[in-house]
Amino acid sequence: QVQLVESGGGLVQAGGSLKLSCKASGLTFNWYAMGWFRQAPGKEREFVAYINRGGSSTIYEDSVKGRFTISRDNVKNTVYLQMNSLKPEDTAVYYCAAVLRTSVTLRANEYDYWGQGTQVAVSS
């Protein structure tokens, strides 16, 4: 069955960096665009970053532009999220998700598969 497994979360001080990884199995990885989303306590899940199937196109939520970088390795079936200059408001559970559709989508409810999430906590 399809599995998306995130790793790399943790506790970091403001201004620090973390790199999240999401390893996919059970699907043809390069058929899927990938997204990162996050959910803070008491808030709805929100879009963070998107990368197309080939890795040539990326989209970011405004608050993370210039600080976060999404990338993928279609040989390793893995998508990454490099997070720099972290802020306390970045604290959330981060999820990776896979979507088969060819047109760009940033809507969580249109994604086909989800990981279990990894916690990121940024202290001030």
Cα separation of 26 and 112, whole Å? 13
Q: Could you read off the pLDDT of 8-46 as tens digits, one per residue?
A: 999 999 999 999 999 999 999 999 999 999 999 999 999
Q: pLDDT, tens digit, for every residue of 44-69?
A: 999 999 999 999 999 999 999 999 99
pLDDT for the residue numbered 62: 98
Extended strands (E) in 8-45:
10-13, 18-25, 33-39
Structure confidence at residue 53 (pLDDT): 96
